[in-house]
Structure 1
């Protein structure tokens, strides 16, 4: 039997979390400015994460390369979750913990912005990638939740969604990600 109350509870949980996202207003604006400066200086936006966060990484990178809502030039962005040959070779030859850090070592420059999505902040492969990006000198950003996990301490910027539920955290990550795409679109829109 389907439980309609469950739907209403999850909707209420979603709305309660979103009512708290205004606390990130200044920081999200600063992140948008950081991304715009990186892109103006020849940098790129790099996304990474596991599972649903891998899909979200690909989604956000696509919004930068193609467009979000406005006509503008293509912007350099990549999700480190898409090349199965690299992912499987690295997992086989080293370990799964290294699948993103190895790509950061190969592809990341000091003028890039690296955004790691981890709802717990405890994903070893995401954290190792953030640490590798820090060594290169890139700007590192965590989209996380719960208590922020390890990633909050190793990223230069951390957005910790005030929730313990993975689905709600990911919904909030995508809201912030979409707002970021919109802000960057505005900065690069034709006629701007």
Structure 2
């Protein structure tokens, strides 16, 4: 049982260390809230994407906007580009997994939208290409990333980098930011 106790304490210590640094991202998060509110107020939408656990987090966040977070309100336009198995498999088979999200951005994204890519490494070609496609369309591109930011930090208009090498800790911080974004939009929603 000592090995489990040690593991729990190690993970909790890592989590606390990561969360102690989150306050430094407040200005970036306020910019993100403004961009999302502007998009939603102008008839735009939020598009989320990521791989693996970040795909699940993308779906989770899109659901919070479409259904509700805390406040009873009208549905808000949000989409997770990770959910359509026909598009994901057809694109991967006919083209490449690298373009599985950029192709959807090309089809669904408009200039007044916000595209949020979650990538713990910042090195995911499909996320990076999707954010570049968003830039090319004039949408606002955002990266929730980790480690040193990877290649995505030079692509996204706004990169929020969690300085940790632990994927789980980075994802925990991403979800904190995502949940706070939902709450902030709720607070500002009329």
TM (norm. structure 1) is 0.97
In the alignment, structure 1 segments of 5+ residues that lack a partner are none
- Deviation by residue 1:59-93 (Cα, 9 ceiling, x = unmatched): 00000001100011100000000000000000000
Is 1:126 the counterpart of 2:127 in the alignment?
yes
Q: 1:168: which partner in 2? A: 169
Give every structure 1 segment of 4 or more consecutive aligned residues whose post-TM-superposition deviation is greater than 2 Å.
none
Q: 1:61: which partner in 2? A: 62
1:162 deviates by 1.2
Q: CA RMSD in A?
A: 0.8
In the alignment, structure 2 segments of 5+ residues that lack a partner are none
Aligned length: 189
1:3 deviates by 2.2
Q: 1:71: which partner in 2? A: 72
Is 1:181 the counterpart of 2:189 in the alignment?
no
Is 1:40 the counterpart of 2:41 in the alignment?
yes
1:26 deviates by 1.2
Aligned residue runs from structure 1 range 127-166, under 5 A:
127-166=128-167
For residue 173 of structure 1, give the secondary structure of its aligned residue in structure 2.
helix
For residue 60 of structure 2, give the secondary structure of its aligned residue in structure 1.
helix
CA distance in 2, matches of 1:20, 1:147: 14
Is 1:5 the counterpart of 2:3 in the alignment?
no
For residue 40 of structure 2, give the secondary structure of its aligned residue in structure 1.
helix
1:20 deviates by 0.7
